[in-house]
Amino acid sequence: MDGASGCTKSPLWFGLNCFKLPSATVDSYNLSAAQNISFNEEKNGSFQAHLSEAETHYHEFVIQAKPVKRLCRTHNSITVNGLFPGPTLEVRDGDRTVRFPVGSGETILLRVINSALNQELFFGVANHRLTVVAVDAAYTKPFTTSVIMIAPGQTTDVLLTADQTPGHYYMAARAYNTANAPFDNTTTTATLEYKTAPPRNAKKGKQSTPIFPRLPGFNDTNSAIAFTSRLRSPSRVEVPLQIDENLFFAVGLGLINCTNPNSPRCQGPNGTRFAASMNNMSFVLPTRNSLMQAYYQGQPGVFTTDFPPVPPVKFDYTGNVSRGLWQPVKATKLYKLKFGARVQIVLQDTSIVSVEDHPMHLHGYHFAVIGAGFGNFNPRTDPAKFNLIDPPYRNTIGTPPGGWVAIRFEADNPGIWFMHCHLDSHLNWGLAMAFLVENGVGELQSVQPPPLDLPRC
């Protein structure tokens, strides 16, 4: 279920799509936020294991945006598991702060999920160390940290041992922002509560305030990079060494001239509208049929397969970019890959409008993150620093602001697969493209035909 509306399945229309989820537990990682549908699925029970003679339990920490009405205005607030963040925001609709009970000596497995569609976040737990064991459902070489950075659509699994004085400790998340743009600077919280801690209202009828974690500043890129650079696979992994498709994608923002400057959609400077692109192509999703259906039914005019493998114009991507390069071309262009092709993509951030950490998500695949750096990628010197031994595997990776990141994967999953920025506003502005991975040989290397009862778009 890793398909995107309009890409591998038909566009969703409000009021026209009724379906039921199976009663079995839904894996929130697989469903992610591919269709801008936000929900939480509670997991009944927990698994238990023994780690260093400590009991292990599973908890899920889902951070997302949720509308809240205050003073007759509705805006989004960052929540935890759908509940509002306690003392950091006054609400009166019955929601309360999420509390995670733990026993002294217990070790809990905490899956942190960023479902806040437009904000990267720092996360930490007061006075407790976190042992990172997995990201995006792929195991990592364990390491301990006090803070993690997590982008929209990403998951991070951490072990936390309740080894502190019994009490109440804040679990908190707040913004990591790299663009020169407004952002939600609120902090969302839950509490880690030891079962043997004295009641919070035990002191003369007043609540004792939980301890708050130290989180980096909103623009602390060094802390974000320090975290992501420590991620490794648990052991040596098979990374494609011989590359069939060497791609270079410049990703970033842009501006489009408005025909009606007074339109509420034209919020850019001098009568322009904000846009975004990859290799100067601002992606337009089809409105009446999916890309997958159009391809396999041979419907013309829905898309083309001439997405450029490199930027049409080479320029100083992180320097002072000429305004003549700020306006992208709106189109629905795909890039075709043969089944089994070994692919390398360098994702290069640009300084058009603003540099930014763009969390890029590839549907249908995990990929090896083999390198990253600041400034413009240098194809002569930077590949020598690639990690081809134990790189982490992810499905979403951020471009360092004003920098680049390199990934590799083998195109062994046929179909049409969306690649896009996981900041929801950037996706709507066109920061996306799609790969058309051709069928291989035989049934196991080919897209299955649609079911007989497939609804019409």
- Residue 258: how many other CB atoms lie within 10 Å: 16
Rounded to 5 degrees, φ, ψ at 373 are: -170, 175
Read off the pLDDT of residues 99-113 as tens digits, 9 standing for 90 and up. Answer: 889 999 999 999 999
Task: Check residues 181 and 141 and name the one with the higher pLDDT.
Answer: 141
Read off the pLDDT of residues 315-356 as tens digits, 9 standing for 90 and up. Answer: 999 999 999 999 999 999 999 999 999 999 999 999 999 999
Average pLDDT over residues 401-426: 97
Read off the pLDDT of residues 11-37 as tens digits, 9 standing for 90 and up. Answer: 655 444 444 433 333 333 232 323 222
Q: Contact, 195 vs 101, CB < 8 A?
A: yes
Strands (E), 228-289: 245-257, 272-278, 281-283
- Read off the pTM: 0.84
> What CA–CA distance (Å, rounded) separates 170 from 360?
30
> What CA–CA distance (Å, rounded) separates 98 from 171?
10
Question: Where do the domains of the chain lie, and which CATH numbers do they carry?
Answer: 46-228 (2.60.40.420), 245-445 (2.60.40.420)
Least confident interval from 8-17, 93-102, 187-196, 297-306: 8-17
Average pLDDT over residues 38-49: 28
Element (H, E) at 401: none
Q: How far is CA 101 from the centre of its chain?
A: 28
Q: Contact, 255 vs 327, CB < 8 A?
A: yes
**Residues contacting residue 60 through CB under 8 Å, at least 6 positions apart:** 28, 43, 81, 110, 111, 113
DSSP string, 140-161: EEEEEES-EEE-TT-EEEEEEE
Rounded to 5 degrees, φ, ψ at 304 are: -125, 165
How far are the Cα atoms of 69, 183, 209, 298, 328 from residue 72, in angstroms, in the given order?
6, 21, 30, 50, 38
Give the 3-state secondary structure percentages of the chain, helix then strand then coil, rounded to 5: 10, 35, 55
